[in-house]
Amino acid sequence: MSVPAIAIRKLVKRFADTTVLQDIDLEIPEGKVSCLIGPSGSGKSTLLRCLAFLEEPTSGMITINGEALGFFEDDNGRRERLPANQIRAVRTKTGMVFQQFNLWPHMTALGNVSEALKLVRKVPKAEAEERAMAQLRKVGLENRAGHYPSQLSGGQQQRVAIARALALEPKIMLFDEPTSALDPELTGEVLNVMRDLAAEGMTMVVVTHEIGFAASVGQQISFLDHGRLLFSGPPAEIFAKPRHPRLEQFLDTYLDRGASMLA
């Protein structure tokens, strides 16, 4: 069997004495779109932040394309922190997109996208900007290259943020509620860019409240509640016949909301 894009083994995350994630075991296959759903406080964002090494797991191990992320843990639970340059190298295999975009306000769209190429990959300025321009074209914003984030709409900012994350040509893209900070009218343009990426075969892990997106684009749906992974499987299995009572209840609230909109 081929190496999964991401393998999570017995992952535990605690903040002080609250356990946010409890024994998460999950494999994310290469080239698939994997959606993490669940109510607020279920731990789905924390799980994604662990994959980006923005949170350090309390125990357990994550591998990205077979390489340990941050810590190496042997079968006896002995853990060793990996050197900083190794951590940075593994991190650049993933691209991260945030709910709040987190573009750097003092740089243009082009500057935001080309910065890591110049600094991390040491690509010469002209070539870095050319490659950054290609990414902006991909998200449909080449005509906004010279604009600062404050001059762009939320949807445009998020598309620039996606281009920035793509610039280093990661194997895996991580999305943390990428449309939650956007007006309903602007979510469409961001979801379309994500659909294009999925169609290209990019491995994607998406934390989302867009159940429609999860159902139509997701190939693996994982449901978290109170820090536990309650269910993981193909969308048909989850949405058509949710057998788990907690999942059923969760999906009902979405149906309710849709129904109340029609009324």
x/- map, 61-90, other proteins, by CB under 8 A: ---------------------------xx-
Q: Does 125 bind other proteins (CB under 8 A)?
A: no
- Cα–Cα distance measured from residue 242 to residue 33, given in angstroms and rounded to the nearest whole number: 20
Shortest reach from residue 71's CB to other proteins, in Å: 16
- Cα–Cα distance measured from residue 258 to residue 261, given in angstroms and rounded to the nearest whole number: 5
Q: What is the DSSP letter of 70?
A: S
- Cα–Cα distance measured from residue 196 to residue 202, given in angstroms and rounded to the nearest whole number: 9
Shortest reach from residue 164's CB to other proteins, in Å: 7
Candidates 106, 122, 241, 243: give the one binding other proteins (CB under 8 A): 106
Answer positive or negative: Cα dihedral of 104, 107, 110, 115: negative
Candidates 92, 153, 192, 219: give the one binding other proteins (CB under 8 A): 92
The maximal CA–CA distance of the chain, rounded, in angstroms, is 58
For residue 2 the two structure tokens come to: 């081929």
Shortest reach from residue 114's CB to other proteins, in Å: 11
Shortest reach from residue 135's CB to other proteins, in Å: 13
Rank residues 108 and 222 by Cβ distance to other proteins and give the closer one: 108
Helix axes 125-138, 109-119, angle to 10 degrees: 130
Q: What is the DSSP letter of 58?
A: S
Q: What Å distances lie between residue 201 and 27, 86, 235, CA to CA?
A: 17, 26, 18
- Cα–Cα distance measured from residue 195 to residue 140, given in angstroms and rounded to the nearest whole number: 14
Candidates 13, 44, 91, 131: give the one binding other proteins (CB under 8 A): 91
Rank residues 155 and 170 by Cβ distance to other proteins and give the closer one: 170
Number of residues binding to other proteins, judged by CB under 8 A? 32
Candidates 52, 123, 133, 194: give the one binding other proteins (CB under 8 A): 52
- Taking a C-beta distance cutoff of 8 angstroms, is the pair 205, 193 a contact? no
Candidates 102, 153, 192, 219: give the one binding other proteins (CB under 8 A): 102
Site residues (CB under 8 A) for other proteins? Answer: 52-54, 88-89, 91-92, 94-96, 98, 100, 102-106, 108, 115-116, 119-120, 146-148, 150-151, 161, 164-165, 167-168
